Amino acid sequence: MARAEATAPEKGTPVGRRVFLGMVGLAAAGVAFGSKAQDWLEHALAPITARDGTGLSTFLPVGRFRIYSVTGDLPGKNVADYRLKVGGHVSQPLTLSYADLQAMPPTDLNKDFQCVTGWRVHNVKWTGVRLGDLLNRAGLMPGAGGVQFRSFDGAYTESLTMEQALRPDVIVAYSMEGKTVSREHGGPVRLYVAPMYGYKSCKWLDAIDVVAGKPEPGYWEERGYDVDGWVGKSNGRDDKPTS
C-alpha cells in the first residue's frame, strides 16, 4: 500500500486549472472595468513613477503615449530641412522654417493628451505658435471657412472649422516637454488641438490649407471617427475634457 502510494502517478488538487480559469476571469473583468481601473492605477502609481530614478517605470502601461502612424513607417525630417507651408484661401502664402516658427510669439500649453483608444497622458507641456496667429499672418481672405492639414507622411490629413482653428488652445507645436518634438511624437512640428482627441492633432505637419466653405474630413473621419473630436463629447466616449 505504502509503496503503491509512493509510486502512483501524481494526484492532487487541480491548481493549474484554477490559475488558468482565474486568469481568464480576471482578464474578462479587466476588459469590462479596465477604463476605470486604469485611472485608479495611474493615481496610485503616480508618486512611485515620479520618484523612479531607474527609468524602468516608463515601461509600465500607465500615463504613456502609444505611437501610431497610418503609413508603414515613421516619417522623419531634420529641423534644418523642415518647412511649413501655409496657403490656400489666404492673401499671402507662407513657407516657414523651424526658426521662423520659433521667432513668432510662443504659446505654452500644459494639458492632458487623450487618445480616442482610451489612454491619457497627464500634463504634457507643449510649446508652439497659435494656429490663429499663423493664419492672421498669412491673411485670411473673405469666405475662408475651414483649415485642412497635411502630414509629410504622405497619407494623413486633418481639418478644423475656422472657429475651431482660431481657438487659443490650438497650436502648431515645435516643442514637447522642453525639447524639439521627437520623430515618434510627430516632430519636428505637429499640430496640437488641446480640446480634442489625439487624432485631430496632425503629426509630421507639412502644409496648412485654408479653404473657402466647409473643409474636407480628415483621414480618420473618413474611417468613422467624429469630425468634431471634442474630448468627452464625441466618438461615444465620456472622458474628462482636456481643455
Partner 1 sequence: MVATTSPRAERQRLVRFDGAERILHWVNAALFLTVMSTAAVLYVGPLAAAVGRRELVRQIHVWCGIALPVPLLVTLAGKWGGGLRADISRLNRWTADDRRWFRSFGRDPYVELGKFNPGQKLNASFIAGVIVVMLGTGSIMNWFHYFPVDWRTGATFVHDWVAIALFVVVVGHIGMALADPDSLNSMLRGTIDATWARQRRPRWYAEETRTSDETALH
- Quick one: CA dihedral 176, 132, 151, 242, positive or negative? positive
All three cell numbers of 77, joined, read 525630417
Phi-psi region of 25 (alpha: psi -120 to 50; beta: other; left: phi over 0): alpha
Is residue 236 close enough to count as binding partner 1 by CB under 8 A? yes
Q: How far is the CB of 150 from partner 1 (least distance, A)?
A: 20
Radius of gyration of the chain (CA): 24
* Residues with Cβ within 8 Å of residue 15, at least 6 apart in sequence: none
Instruction: Tell which positions 122-161 bind partner 1, by CB under 8 A.
Output: none
| Three-class DSSP category at 73 | coil
Element (H, E) at 162: helix 162-165
* Residues with Cβ within 8 Å of residue 21, at least 6 apart in sequence: none
Instruction: Tell which positions 9-28 bind partner 1, by CB under 8 A.
Output: 9-17, 19-20, 22-24, 27-28
From the list 221, 225, 69, the residue with the least C-alpha distance to 158 is 221
Number of chain positions touching partner 1 (CB under 8 A): 51
* Residues with Cβ within 8 Å of residue 105, at least 6 apart in sequence: 129, 130, 133
Instruction: Tell which positions 214-233 bind partner 1, by CB under 8 A.
Output: 224
Among 44, 95, 110, 118, contact with partner 1 (rule: CB under 8 A): 118
Among 122, 125, 137, 183, contact with partner 1 (rule: CB under 8 A): 183
Among 47, 53, 55, 72, contact with partner 1 (rule: CB under 8 A): 72
Q: Which stretch binds partner 1 (CB under 8 A): 43-51, 117-125, 202-210, 211-219?
A: 117-125
Element (H, E) at 101: helix 98-103
From residue 30 to residue 59, the character string flagging contacts with partner 1 as x (rule: CB under 8 A) and all else as - is xxxxxx-xx--------------------x
CB nearer partner 1, residue 105 or residue 224: 224
**Which whole-number Å values give the CA distances from 243 to 53, 67, 146, 167, 205, in the listed order?**
31, 22, 21, 11, 22
Is residue 76 close enough to count as binding partner 1 by CB under 8 A? yes
Q: How far is the CB of 31 from partner 1 (least distance, A)?
A: 4
CB nearer partner 1, residue 103 or residue 184: 184
Among 43, 44, 52, 61, contact with partner 1 (rule: CB under 8 A): 61
Q: How far is the CB of 208 from partner 1 (least distance, A)?
A: 25
What residues line the site for partner 1 (CB under 8 A)?
A: 6-17, 19-20, 22-24, 27-28, 30-35, 37-38, 59-61, 65-69, 71-74, 76, 117-119, 182-185, 224, 235-237
